[in-house]
Amino acid sequence: MKLRDKTVVITGAGGGIGAAMAVRFAREKPRGIVVSDIDAHAVADVAAQVRELGVAALQHRADVGDQRQVAELVAASEREFGRIDVLCSNAGIAVGMGVHAPAERWSAAWSVNVMAHVHLARAVLPAMAARGSGYIMITASAAGLLGLPGDAPYSVTKTAAVGLAEWLAATYRRSGVTVSALCPLGVRTGLLMRALTAGHPAARAVADFGPILDADEVADVALEGIADERFLILPHPDVAQLYAKKAADPEGWLTELQREGRR
């Protein structure tokens, strides 16, 4: 799908990949871009950057783990631009703990990394399916394909996010709705770089699996993936080979993860 004259909604757009996508997508001259984040000040800055590129922007603060706030976000987007053509469900959080993470940390990861995608899909799919067109891109992670030592809630919920994207893609393709899963490895954002500085095993494993990309590079690949309507959008090409390696030899892959987790 081309973005020209389309309405794009991006969550988790206050920084990192979401902010980079908002600015990069604005260069494609969409009808408008809705930038949403839980950080109102950050998202206001991103919206200003979009407007500087000559594209209408709506900034909207929302906690996408809250179904009511998601409904308000979608309603505000439709009031402003008439319809939503492309949804980039991008918000996500890391926990940095193992299986013994407190229940509230598991709940938070599940809320943002899985249920936010569910809430958003449920909110936009009826209109998309009714008109026979629409695009949903879920930002999951290469961790959702490969696993990740050191952060159990992140690894588990990102795997669930990939599974949700796959289910939506198979179910709604006949309705004219395309669904993709964006699955980067390491990206140069505050989330990863702070963890690397602290020497966290999950961050070290991410860095060992492949190069760390800038968010702008990920945004470029995301745009190409949307244009090509690919299901798996992989900013790190090596992830495809690693995923195939895992499928061919699960026992060997577990050994590899164990090794990475001990570094």
Q: What percent of the chain has pLDDT over 90?
A: 80
**Which residues does the annotation mark as catalytic?**
154
In whole angstroms, how far apart are CA 92 and each of 80, 95, 157?
Answer: 25, 10, 10
The Cα 187–Cα 147 span in angstroms is: 16
Higher-scoring residue by pLDDT: 228, 187: 228
Question: Architecture of domain 7-262 in CATH?
Answer: 3-Layer(aba) Sandwich (3.40)
Q: Indicate the pLDDT class of residue 259, thresholds 50, 70 and 90.
A: confident
- On the question of pLDDT at 27 being above 70, the answer is yes
Q: Taking the domains of the chain in order of start, what are their residue ranges?
A: 7-262
Could you read off the pLDDT of 168-198 as tens digits, one per residue? 999 999 999 999 999 998 787 777 667 667 7
Mean pLDDT of all residues in 207-225: 89
Q: How many CB atoms lie within 10 A of CB 170?
A: 11
Q: Indicate the pLDDT class of residue 208, thresholds 50, 70 and 90.
A: confident
The Cα 132–Cα 116 span in angstroms is: 23
Q: Indicate the pLDDT class of residue 211, thresholds 50, 70 and 90.
A: confident
pLDDT at 187: 80
Using CA of residue 57, residue 220, residue 188, residue 260, what is the dihedral sign?
positive
Q: What are phi and psi of 180, to 5 degrees?
A: -125, 160
